[in-house]
Copies of this chain bind each other. A is one copy, B any other.
Amino acid sequence: MKSDTAIIDPLNIRLRRSPFWESAHNAGCNTYHVYNRMLIANTTKEDYQHLKSFVQLWDVGCERQVEIKGPDALRLVQASTPRDLQNMKNDQCFYIPTVDGDGNMTNDPVLIKIAENCYWVSVADADLILFYKGVAAALNLNVSIEEPEVSPLGIQGPKADELACRVWGEQVMDIKFYKHARVNVNGTPMLLARSGFGLQGGYELYYEGSSGAEMIWDQLMEAGRDLGVRAACPNQSERIEAGLLAYRVDVTTDMTPFEAGLGHLCEMNRDVGCLGWASLGKKQDPTRQIRPIEIFGDTLPRMRGYWDVTNTQGDKVGRISSSCRAWAYDCNAAIGLIDRAHWNPGTKLVVEAPHGPREAAIKPRFWGRQ
């Protein structure tokens, strides 16, 4: 495969860029991949070490919102997920597995309740909006479904609190984990949530509109100069060691939430209105599941496809979907989908890595997790 000689046109009209794109690009983000038809920057090793000590701005405009609004909004969102949304508060964010009628995962978005009868579904890489449009049309629901001009900006790392306080005042400290409040951005109240695709803590600002983004970017950069703020992106190593799943990579369209290790988010005692609930009921006891895996030895090459996992007799028992050097732990951390007979912590396995087989073992939990 000579695909490393392929050149992808960054200016193709199909590729969108967030309003933070130019600022992030000028600040040093220059290699990308494509997510929801938008550019998102690639991780560097330096960013990983920096993220664990300082604060970073992440252009995650590729986390597109689906706005669902109207009297049937809750019914429609609930139709897509087995997580119980009944008691969700107007200032809450929920990580939700979404499923189709067979109980297979269609996405793993963060759901944000904006107000009564108004939600944003902050989607991973898929046109989940089309699932909502299909259900709404079929059931003739009273809702509007749109992709608003909203571009999330991550403010992530241990100094994120300090930076956010400087820009928006001490009030941001009152925002609890996975809750949100409005802050003043260029004169407009915008949604700030305590959330992010990492374990280091921080915020996501849901920037509204297509212009003026460079003003708040510059303000954050200026205010955070002595905090070591820098432009970066969701960190692959940090998210893999923490076991944060990537949709279409770790979680695929043929997997249930139970296989993805998200069974604790599924209300299976009663039917909350999820269209996949009956199917999920039959799939609560999976024969394969996501597991944390340590792959022994020195640093592995970047993954370009799944790696087979075998038992010590050479039979295939799973796959590695994400792998990284967990620099803070001086090992290779990986996310795998492993058959039941081999998923217990301590089980010895073999990973068919690019330069030959590597010994590996199931870990009791992801790195940095209790």
Contact = CB atoms under 8 A, between A and B. Distances in A.
A13 B135 CA distance: 31
A131 B126 CA distance: 12
A15 interface: yes
Contacts of A6: 10, 25, 30-32, 39
Contact of A8 (B21, B39, B100): B39
Contact of A275 (B39, B138, B305): B138
Contacts of A4: 10-11
Contacts of A79: 137-138
B21 A33 contact: no
A3 interface: yes
A7 interface: yes
Contacts of A130: 100, 106, 126-128, 130-131, 134
Given A130-B130, A248-B14, A8 B33 contact: yes
Q: Which of A133, A135, A136, A303 has the most CB of B within 10 A?
A: A133
A8 B31 contact: yes
A26 interface: yes
Interface residues on A, range: 35 or more
Given A101-B137, A133-B131, A31 B7 contact: yes
Contacts of A13: 249, 303-305
Interface string A113-145: 000000000000111101111111111100001
A22 interface: yes
Contacts of A328: none
Contacts of A134: 100, 130-136, 138
B3 A11 contact: yes
Contacts of A1: 22
A235 interface: no
A9 interface: yes
A2 interface: yes
Nearest to A8: B8
A17 interface: yes
Contacts of A166: none
Interface of A: 1-15, 17, 21-22, 25-26, 30-35, 37, 39, 42, 79, 100-101, 106, 125-128, 130-140, 145, 147, 248-249, 253, 275-276, 302-305
Given A37-B125, A100-B133, 15 more contacts: A3-B21, A6-B32, A7-B32, A8-B8, A8-B33, A12-B33, A14-B248, A15-B33, A34-B37, A37-B248, A134-B134, A134-B138, A135-B135, A137-B276, A147-B253
20 contacts: A1-B22, A2-B25, A3-B17, A3-B21, A6-B25, A7-B30, A9-B42, A11-B302, A13-B305, A15-B34, A79-B138, A100-B133, A100-B137, A127-B127, A128-B130, A130-B134, A134-B134, A134-B135, A135-B135, A147-B253
Shortest 4 CB-CB distances between A and B: which pairs?
A134-B134, A101-B137, A138-B138, A137-B275
